[in-house]
Structure 1
Amino acid sequence: MPHTTVLPFKALLLDMDGTLVNSDAVVERCWREWALEHGLDPAEALKVVHGRQGYATMAVLLPERPMELNHADNKVMLAKETADTEGVVPIGGAPAFMAAVADLPHALVTSADEKLAQARMGAAALPMPATRVTAELVGASKPDPEGFLKGAAELGFDPADCIVFEDSGAGIEAGKAAGMRVLGVGPRAAEHAPTAVVADLTQVRVVTDADGSTSLHVTV
């Protein structure tokens, strides 16, 4: 029997890749190429790329490498990913979900920079939230909570009143570290113990009560 969990909220903080947009095809193409160029096993590299900014992924994969080289490579990687939108599609239920939250407090909090976020949300035909925290606006990559804390502050809500939507271990860890509840989305999320987990956004309903309070109804 399906079970519904009700999660009250005042604001939503939404990751992009793997949460609203399925960009796995592009990510795998670009990172496989990078891994091979640096003598790494692409399969092992792909285990750590999700959720982090590129320079942070490179630092995990090549811990002895000077960070300035990672930042330089990251600029090249972002340009490649921005130019390649083949196979970028919305996560199941994302269009209806974004329509449902259009008039509610929400922000995009992504490890992509502004150009990449615009390219992928556009390719998936999803509306871009007015409030967003992109890579160039934070000093630390997920799993650091800075991005989510900044998103909550921009919207004007306490962390405890926010729900994070995330698909990756790094993102879920960041949401928890920010003191927020986390809804895990997709196959990577369950192993990182989010507050609740769904296969995609078709299992999430946004409900506004007569008194104006809002909640997520998560049915699995």
Structure 2
Amino acid sequence: MDGTLVNSDAAVERSWRVWADEHGFTMDDVMKVSHGRQAHATMAVLLPDRPVEQNLADNRAMLAREIADTEGVVPVPGAPDFMAAVADLPHALVTSADVALADARMRAADLRMPKIRVTAEDVGASKPDPEGFLLGAATLGVDPRDCVVFEDSEAGILAGRAAGMRVVGVGARAAAMSPDVHVPDLTHLRVEALPTGEMVLRVPA
């Protein structure tokens, strides 16, 4: 969701800045590892000896701030047309956000929420673990090898690969991870629905 369908970078950075200042980290320290992960998983990377309970408590506080702060949250270019193009195709939203945050950001960006979604409440492990993507495929009833993941972050791309799925990288962060296909944003994709219910992706030259 974040970075792939929704540009929430400003809101994310505002929220993390509070935590970083409290714990003596720079924003560069945080941003290097935070994209695509649940907040408590990022905290565990930055403070490996810290009790899990403290990370989970900070995670809850951060989610509350992020849910309340949707200023500047907008769709990634091309996201509305992309969501319309896949509306009748099997698809799921797999996000590290919880239900409330996913709802808030999709609503702020005026994007349709897919009927099938996998959020933080549904998994025991954050990306780069593939659990979320595998659960999404299972819920759709689709073999993971027949799935395509759209991701912007290192953690998300690693999770998609670990799930055995092909990966379309979206945006500048994704380019460094050498995904199967890279596009600057979703305006660079065309989606074609086949009578079989399958999807053809075209990347215009």
Q: Classify the TM-score, shorter chain.
A: over 0.9
**1:211 offset after TM fit, Å?**
5.4
Give the match's secondary structure for 1:106.
Answer: coil
Give the match's secondary structure for 2:176.
Answer: helix
2:151 is matched with which residue? 166
What is the aligned-residue RMSD (CA, Å)? 1.0
1:62 is matched with which residue? 47
Kept after mapping to 1: 8 A contact 2:169/2:182: yes
Rounded Cα–Cα distance in structure 2 between residues aligned with 1:184 and 1:80: 28
Query: Is 1:103 aligned to 2:88, yes or no?
Result: yes
Give the match's secondary structure for 2:14.
Answer: helix
1:84–1:212 Cα change, 3 Å: closer
Structure 1 gap segments, 5+ residues each: 1-15
Q: What pairs up with 1:3-152 in 2 under 5 angstroms? A: 16-152=1-137
Aligned residues: 205
Q: Which has the higher contact order (CA 8 A, sep 6+)?
A: 1
Give the match's secondary structure for 1:188.
Answer: helix
Kept after mapping to 2: 8 A contact 1:203/1:219: yes
Q: 43-52 or 130-139: which moved more?
A: 43-52
One-letter code of the match for 1:206?
V
Percent identity (aligned): 69
Give the match's secondary structure for 2:142.
Answer: coil
Kept after mapping to 1: 8 A contact 2:89/2:193: no
1:196 is matched with which residue? 181
1:158–1:38 Cα change, 3 Å: same
With structure 1 as the length reference, what TM-score do the two structures score? 0.91
Structure 2 gap segments, 5+ residues each: none
Rounded Cα–Cα distance in structure 1 between residues aligned with 2:71 and 2:194: 40
Q: Which structure shows the higher strand fraction?
A: 1
State the Cα deviation string for residues 80-133 of structure 1 (Å, max 9, x = none): 101000000000000000011111100000000000000000000000000000
